[in-house]
Amino acid sequence: MIGIGFLFQFFFNMGLSLYFWTDKYEDLQETEEQYTSHRLSRTFANFMFRENVIMNEEEAELNQIGKITEVDISIIYQMLEYPQEEQIEFELRLAQDEEAEQKILDDAEKSKAEIENNLDEVLSTIASLIEKLSKIEDLNKLLLPTDYDTLNSEYYFSDFNIDKKNFGQDLRNFKRFLEFAKENGAKTVWFMFC
């Protein structure tokens, strides 16, 4: 399958936005107020794809945060791996033969199966991050700088406990969405980007 890095470059150049999707998305009836309180910033989209843009020996901020808090963040990255229909269709058009097509379809099914019923684990991970990060002052000063800062890190990672379109607010919005989705019967959650 085409790597997430390729897709990131394509969507980043077009203005990437990241949204939640669940196995029950069509059944979730968010009010405008709920939608606003669940919404992720565009900076969060850039944050999630930092592994694909940083260079040399630098480490993506999410990886650094996982180490600082001692929270396994792999389940969050896994949410990016859910194959989107447009991606699958694009890859099928590029396939050389039926064997390649079948591999694309098999890989897509495998990716879907790997995150099935992940909502509780994602919620637990996000709750742990919020709990631990809320006790850390000046997270922005603990993160190692990178040569290519697409996040405005000094601002984005500052004042974690204050809602000011920063990382703290994005994580709290993330948690609110997960709780809302769970209350409405969702079991699986992933990211959609467009």
Q: Give how far Cα 92 sits from Cα of 31, 104, 181, Å.
A: 37, 7, 32
Sign for the CA dihedral angle at 122, 14, 37, 157 comes to positive
pLDDT, the chain, mean? 90
Q: For the chain, what percent of residues have pLDDT higher than 90?
A: 74
> Which pTM does this prediction carry?
0.88
The pLDDT of 35-42, averaged and rounded, is 91
pLDDT of 15: 60
Rounded mean pLDDT, 124-145: 97
Q: What percent of the chain has pLDDT over 70?
A: 92
pLDDT at 11 over 60: no
Residue 169 burial (CB < 10 Å; 0-12/13-18/19+)?
Answer: buried
- CA distances 19 to 5, 31, 133, Å, are 18, 16, 23
Mean pLDDT of 97-108: 95
Residue 60 DSSP SS3: coil
pLDDT at 8 over 70: no
For residue 186 the two structure tokens come to: 């969702």
pLDDT in tens, 76-95: 999 999 998 899 999 999 99
Q: How is residue 189 written in tokens?
A: 């959650």
- Nearest partner of 150 among 50, 77, 7, 17, judged by Cα: 50
CB 170 within 8 A of CB 44: yes
Two tokens at 159? 């004042």
Which residue reads 């694309």 in tokens?
A: 104
For 93-152, give the secondary structure using H, E and C.
HHCCCHHHHHHHHHHHHHHHHHHCCCHHHHHHHHHHHHHHHCCCCCHHHHCCCCCCCCCC
